[in-house]
Amino acid sequence: MSTAASEPVPYRVAYSEQVRQRLLALADVARERGDGETFLAALKEFHRRLCLYPQFGEPLIDLKQESGQVWIGIVRPLAMRYGVFDERRVVMVAALPVLLPKSDPQQSE
């Protein structure tokens, strides 16, 4: 058995143009408030998870037109809603992402 056969097939992730523009704007906001690097790391991790295991978040609703679910995922400071279509191995991010408030390290201690 080859190792390629045992590796999972990644999901194809599609971002709407509005989402892409919003992510650029949120990156600017994050940079201005001092957590631009954290935002970029969160965005990269979010994309990695969406490709490998998009069910890492919380399911919100089952879709009726096509077999799929809408999920919400959080990788601080970023929150996104997205549709997962397991049969096609596709994730669609169409809802505008949200930049969460900057976390205060002193509050978590």
Q: What is the pTM of this model?
A: 0.85
**C-alpha dihedral sign at 80, 81, 86, 92:** negative
Beta partners for residue 15, in sequence order: 93
In a domain, 70, yes or no: yes
Does the pLDDT at position 107 exceed 90?
Answer: no
Beta partners for residue 69, in sequence order: 62, 84
CATH number, domain containing residue 57: 3.30.2310.20
The residue segments making up the domain with residue 95 are 9-99
In a domain, 3, yes or no: no
Number of domains in the chain: 1
- pLDDT tens sequence across 10-45: 999 999 999 999 999 999 999 999 999 999 999 999
In a domain, 104, yes or no: no
Q: Which residues contact 75 (CB under 8 A, 6 or more apart)?
A: 42, 43, 45, 46, 49
In a domain, 43, yes or no: yes
In a domain, 86, yes or no: yes
| Cα(69)–Cα(91) distance, integer angstroms | 10
